[in-house]
Structure 1
């Protein structure tokens, strides 16, 4: 990906900004150009080595001895550029203001039959005491969400609540919670 081949950044509209502020999430369908999407899929396959990792949150893959593989996700050409993708940066600046920082990159492939992820939030703060800083997580579902690999569920307005990261997972596992929204497109 290069700045020259990326489409011009498109601003979020007032409804999208309000949705994010009030509900705590925003869905941008078709955000990645088809060619880039296909390249990212190939990189994900390279990263996970043709099968799911034992620990999909690992910073580096577990390649077979002697395998010629990138050691960091950022070494994958398109993954490395994705974290500074101009259309994404423009939208993040609208949501967060200028001067934000990148925290981490996580790449996984969820094949049919993969187990769901327990309810959790990703507000990185220890101890959990407030929500004074905006934190944005960007998820790219390269094959979309159609119910065959599990869908993304969000709990609107929970971005304002202060509780330990895994509390809801301990209490509810992967169950659908009252008021949750399933993103299935």
Structure 2
């Protein structure tokens, strides 16, 4: 499975591509950051993020895009920028028919380090180790994007089994051959 991870942000949007399957060594195919100037108009920043993500999608052709789920912070401005960048990533993937998965920061940290409270240095160190890199990706947004991709690759088989079990346990209440009733006017 080839996953493009996106750590959304207006100033630095981390992007990383990882390929592999759960239980086997993973391979990093690319890592980087889409940057926008803080003093630029918001619309132009979002266009720059879109162009950057589109270029990564063109180059790496992922099967899935994993995006960090936006969570509430004290700084509303930061949350809004993160949400806007996140929406751009989801739009770019959806426009191409690529499935999108959202993971919370604590899910990603727990998957990669074993602790949902790990700090950025711990995440970077584990990403470096798991992908057999010479040094942690810089900046931390790039390492976080790789961690998102790793998290999804590792969690996808279990999530798929859960979804299948849930669907089997809740059969449709309307039979496929149910007659259609016309409502009198």
TM-score by structure 1 length?
Answer: 0.28
Higher strand share: 2
Higher helix share: 2
TM-score by structure 2 length?
Answer: 0.28
